[in-house]
Structure 1
Amino acid sequence: MTTTEQADAKFEKKLATAQFTDEMLDEMRALIGTELRTAGSVNNEYADRHAILRYCEGIGDGNPLWTDEEYAVQSVYGGIIAPPTFIFACLGSVQVGWRGLGGFHAETDIEFYKPIRVGDKITATIVFDGFDGPIEASNFAGRRIKDYLRQEYRNQDGELVAKFICSRMRFERSEMQKKRETRKIELPHPWTPEEIEQIERDVLAETPRGADPRYWDDVNVDDELDVITKGPMGLSDFIAFIASGAAPIPRIAAHGVALRRFAKHPKWAFRDPNTHALEPVYAVHYNDYAASLQGAQAAYDVGVQRTAWGVHQLTNWMGDDGFLKHVHGQYRAHVYLSDVVRLGGKITEKYIDDDGDHVVKVETWAMNQRGQNAMPGTAVIKLPVRPPAA
């Protein structure tokens, strides 16, 4: 290769591509049980009022329990608390290994133990718990791996606030790119003005239960939860999530700070052919070209962002006196720019759990306009018990 060809190749700088090898698998097995470095991915150490507000704005959750001091002081908490998924704004996740492979967030499983209050300092530890596979080729992708990161969040008193198992699918980008055309859909979605008007009415119709308790005694199996609507997804919706501090792996940076990081970790970046700028791999969430290199049709949402939307729907329904104990979701389809997602659920069980809490188990969903459930899942919610009559 000539000097000119080498310079051109360096300038093109596309996303790295690699294949699963025995050497790579052995390397990753040796990392199982390793506690990972987190310094480059911490966004908010402290749950101050503005950090909570920015996060709520970034997920479109206007619940006054998170944002209005005058309202929150009258609640059972005596002041503002953060929405449960604020943990993502402290540290969304990190990356580990799998050099040159692509990755999609595949599944989220979170246990919540304590609320986060204004002023709490949240520290996360992350451990690589291993992986399954390689799983053989499918219509969606070539061979793939599913790996697991265990993320534990503690407050300044050392109390466990939440435990998040983050599962990602790792794949060979070249195989995913080959199958891209087989998954082609019409984007942007061809909404009519009448449909847009109805969608926006639905978005504005959402109402948190608030201070009116939803008693365990009053709900029944097969009851459906109130639906909330997100969309049509715009670029600002995706960027607002980044601006909230919830962009993971690692923090987004600019100019010389970014260039020095990319020089140190070349596979973190690619060169955008339109702007000629180096962009982080995370740009798949706002850059169509980057998304296409991952085998996607266009820029798509972040997995934990979608979980935050689902938790928004659950906390709206349960009211201030409820407590979300567990949430689980699988990411089954990308949510693209111009998509609309309607999040809902149905009670499937009602019982007293091992902690003595009166809870309901909920089947949850996130339906897009193509009739796909983009995030099937479950949740467990503690509800207050109706006090005995005087």
Structure 2
Amino acid sequence: ALDVPHHYTEEEMREIDRYYEQEYIRGAEPRYWESVEIGEVSIPLVRGPYTTTAYICYAEATGPRNDFHRAHSDAYRYRSEHPRAFPLNEYGFPDTIARVHWDKEMATRAGLPETYDFGGERVAWMSNVVTNWMGDDAFLRRLRVEMRAFCYVGDTVWLTAKVVDKSTDGKDFAVDLELEAVNQRDEQIARGTATVLLPTETDPDAPTVPSTIPEGLSPFI
């Protein structure tokens, strides 16, 4: 059977805490394009053990962006128009289908062993590992993330970015990264790619932030 939620030993928790203690945010120290080597890997970023509290914090931080996160009269109006979005719970009254993320009964009804994260949070984690590595003077030009498996309550995730290419067109100095998120069961639960524009030793004021969104990409907001 799948080890969900995982029961942690004291040593496992100490190891996770060590990763939190070594979390590195480059910040104001520039990472110059010339200093980057293909094959280098970022310091792993840890997230977890995942909790329902973490889900709540993410939902609060992102604001009222999910149609299924509604309460009271607002929920009534929405479920009047979309009744199937609010199935009855085990007590006989309707609640949002999004409760699959925090209500184990609903998760079980969906065929899952446990509640799980919101996919957008993992995208945010992937952006964290990139921006922590690149520093404040760089620009995250592209980010693409694929969800490969669930992140259940109790799971711990380690995220890394690996340099796979460097290029320049004479104006922009780019680095391509491969991203990976692996849990305590050694399962890859997300993967992705990113392109970062870095400053250079000869032009520390670069890169300039694009004034338009590249064709085919959408803004985050």
TM over 0.5: yes
Q: Give 2:6's aligned residue.
A: 189
CA distance in 1: counterparts of 2:94 and 2:17, whole angstroms? 36
Find the aligned partners of 1:240 and 1:276 in 2 and give their Cα distance. 28
Q: For structure 1, which segment, 256-265 or 209-218, has the greater mean C-alpha deviation from structure 2 after superposition? A: 256-265
Rounded to whole Å, the distance in 1 between the matches of 2:53 and 2:149 is 21
Match of 2:55 in 1: 238
- Give the distance between the partners of 1:332 and 1:248, measured in 2 at CA: 23
2:126 to 297, 310, 313: 310
Give how far 1:246 is off: 4.8
Q: Distance in 2 between matches of 1:277 and 1:236?
A: 24
TM-superposed CA distance for 1:298, in Å, is 1.3
2:181 to 355, 366, 383: 366
Write the distance in 1 (CA, Å) between the matches of 2:151 and 2:64.
16
Instruction: State the Cα distance separating 1:294 from its structure 2 match.
Output: 2.7
- Measured after TM superposition, the shift of residue 260 of structure 1 is 2.7
The within-5 A match list for 1:1-20 is none
Q: Residue in 1 aligned with 2:69?
A: 252
Q: Residues 173-252 of structure 1: matches in 2 within 5 Å?
A: 184-246=1-63, 248-250=65-67, 252=69
- Aligned-residue offset at 1:373: 1.0
Q: 1:378 maps to which residue?
A: 193
- In the alignment, which residue of structure 2 is the partner of 1:341? 157
Q: Distance in 2 between matches of 1:294 and 1:204?
A: 37
Answering whether residue 196 of structure 2 is matched by residue 350 of structure 1, we say no
Q: Is the 8 A contact 2:142 2:196 kept in 1?
A: yes
**What residue identity is the alignment partner of 1:209?**
R
2:144, 2:193 within 8 Å by CA — same for their partners in 1?
A: yes
Amino acid corresponding to residue 178 of structure 2 in structure 1 = E
Match of 2:5, SS?
coil
CA RMSD, Structure 1 to Structure 2 (Å): 1.9
Following superposition of structure 1 onto structure 2, how do residues 25-174 of structure 1 map, counting pairs within 5 Å? none
The residue that corresponds to 2:80 in the other structure is 263
Corresponding pairs, count: 204
TM-score, structure 2 as length reference: 0.86
1:293 to 105, 109, 122: 109
2:111 partner letter: G
Counterpart CA distance in 2 for 1:330 and 1:292 is 24
- After superposing on structure 2, the runs of 4+ consecutive aligned residues of structure 1 that deviate more than 3 Å are 246-249
Which deviations, in whole Å up to 9, do the C-alpha atoms of 1:96-146 show, x marking residues without a partner? xxxxxxxxxxxxxxxxxxxxxxxxxxxxxxxxxxxxxxxxxxxxxxxxxxx
Q: Quick check: 1:239–1:286 contact (8 Å CA) kept in 2?
A: no
Larger RCO, structures 1/2 (Cα 8 Å, 6+ apart)? 2
**Structure 1 regions of 5+ residues with no counterpart?**
1-183
What residue number does 2:202 align with? 387
Q: Give the residue type in structure 1 aligned to 2:56.
A: I
- Normalising by structure 1, report the TM-score: 0.50
For the pair 1:331 / 2:147, whether they are aligned, the reply is yes
| AA matched with 1:238 | Y
- CA distance, structure 2, for counterparts of residue 251 and residue 245 of structure 1: 14
Give the whole-Å Cα distance in 2 for the aligned partners of 1:204 and 1:251. 36
User: Partner residue of 2:211?
Assistant: none
Q: Give the partner amino acid of 2:54.
A: D
Q: Distance in 2 between matches of 1:251 and 1:369?
A: 30
Give 1:328 shift: 1.1
- 3-state DSSP of counterpart to 2:190: coil
Code of the residue aligned with 1:278 in structure 2: it is P
AA matched with 1:245: T
The higher radius of gyration belongs to 1
Shift of 1:281: 1.5
Percent of aligned pairs sharing the same letter:
32
What SS does the aligned partner of 2:87 have?
strand
CA distance in structure 2 between the partners assigned to 1:251 and 1:186 by the alignment: 29
